[in-house]
Amino acid sequence: MTATPAAPAAPTQSTPRRRSTVGRKFLHTTPGVVGAVVLLLMAIVAIAAPLIAPFDPLLRAGSALQGPNAQHWFGTDELGRDLFSRVVYGAQLSLETAVGAAAFACLVGLPLGVLSGYLGGVVDAIVMRITDFVLAVPGILFALVVVAILGSGVLNLTLAIGIGAIPAFIRLARASTLSLREREYVLAARSMGASRFDIMFRTVTPNIMGPIIVQIIVTASVAILVAAALSFIGLGTPPPAPSWGGMLQTSRSYLYQQVWYAVLPGVALAVTIAALDGVGRGMQTALGTRGPGRAKVGGMG
């Protein structure tokens, strides 16, 4: 509903470059490189969790609430489970949710935005009003209410966050499509007799992918935050699953005994989110687009 210039500017068409130039530019950005490295490590950890985690995250492995020591690098939690293993599996959970939510939001939001931008008229009006409504509810709250209705669980959580992230994609795709619609090569495609569908999805869409990719990364970052926040207040992934947010919640009761319990999952969260943010900023610089601010995607504690 709003289009104040202060807020994210309408994204420009991603200027096409050979992919090698984009890659090279990306590698010159500090946030990009650092973020990518960290993210890669996180991804490896998440995927190879069974190989990396020394203990089963769900089973008791020693006495409760130990501090970090040689056997348990992060210590143990209140049930004696190895904290390091739980954090490692937590990475798996977080990244699953992040990728799931971002992919879902993109798959739904991108086509809707392109349709809305290209066809205009009634389609546009309806899509925009629905978008305005969803955006009127802060991200966390929206996910909260959806989870309240659907029930908790990883899938519902991912869905809830994903739905809340759809409007950002719609807006982005729509704005990009609007700016491309009058370009001469779109006109040329029309003059060739291409169908509207063809133009929308084979001519316009590939040319807007730059900002979309940035948006995917930003969405993933916000998804991790929101998932953790919801798990923290007990509405996300239910125990005994090792969610970082859930761990932080439980840790509150044991601040005196095992302070690292409250610190380490938080560090994991912050590092992963920061890594995604970094990659996002690096991509923005490399593609030369001014992407949306995180504010618009509604991520907050």
Partner 1 sequence: MSAPSLPPVLRVSNLVKHFPIRRGVLGRQVGAVHAVDEVSFELYSGRSLGLVGESGSGKTTTGRTVMGLVQPTSGTVELDGVRVTGASDRRQLARAMSMVFQDPLGSLNPRLSAIANVAEPLRVHRIGSAAERRQRAIDLLGQVGLRADQGERVPAEFSGGQRQRIGIARALALSPKVMLLDEPASALDVSVQAQVLNLLRDLQNQLGVAFLFISHDLSVVRHLCDRVAVMYLGKIVEVGDRDEVYDHPLHPYTKALLSAVPIPDPDLRRERIVLSGDLPSPVNPPSGCRFRTRCAWAQDICATQEPELRTRTAGGQLVACHFAAELAGVSGARVVRPDAIDPIGGRP
Partner 2 sequence: MGSYILRRLLQFVPVLILASIAVWAIVYAVPGNPALALVGPDATPQTIAAAEHRLGLDKPVMTQYFLWVGHAVQLDFGNSAINGESVLSQLASRIPASLQLTLFSMLIGLLLALPLGIVAALKPRSLVTKVINFYQAAALAIPTFWVGILLIIGLAVKKHMFPSVSNYVSLWSDPLGAFKNTFLPALCLGIYISGIIARFVAASLRDSLGQDFIRTARAKGVPEHAVVSRHALRNALLPTVTVVGLQIGEFLGGTVVTEVVFSYPGLGRLIYTAVTGRDYPIIQAAVLFIVIAFLLINLIVDVLYAYLDPRVRLR
Judged by the rule CB under 8 A, the positions of this chain that interact with partner 2 are 1-7, 31, 129-130, 132-133, 136-141, 144-145, 147-149, 221, 225, 228-229, 232-235, 248, 251-252, 255-256, 259, 262-263, 266, 269-271, 273-274, 277-278, 293-295, 298, 300-301
| Euclidean distance between CA atoms 14 and 296, whole angstroms | 20
| Euclidean distance between CA atoms 258 and 282, whole angstroms | 37
154 binds, among partner 1, partner 2, none (CB under 5 to 8 A by kind): none
| Euclidean distance between CA atoms 191 and 176, whole angstroms | 21
Is 203 one of the binding residues for partner 1 (CB under 8 A)? yes
| Residue 232: CB minimum distance to partner 2, A | 6
Cβ neighbours of residue 64 under 8 Å, at least 6 residues apart?
Answer: 76, 77, 78, 79, 80
Pick from 1, 3, 15, 30 the residue near partner 1 by CB under 8 A: 15
269 binds, among partner 1, partner 2, none (CB under 5 to 8 A by kind): partner 2
145 binds, among partner 1, partner 2, none (CB under 5 to 8 A by kind): partner 2
- The helix/strand/coil state of 60 is strand
What is the number of other CB atoms lying within 10 angstroms of the CB of residue 53? 20
| Residue 25: CB minimum distance to partner 1, A | 15
Please identify which residue in the block is written with the tokens 């739905």: 163
Find the radius of gyration of the CA atoms of the chain: 21
Is 183 one of the binding residues for partner 1 (CB under 8 A)? yes
Is 19 one of the binding residues for partner 1 (CB under 8 A)? no
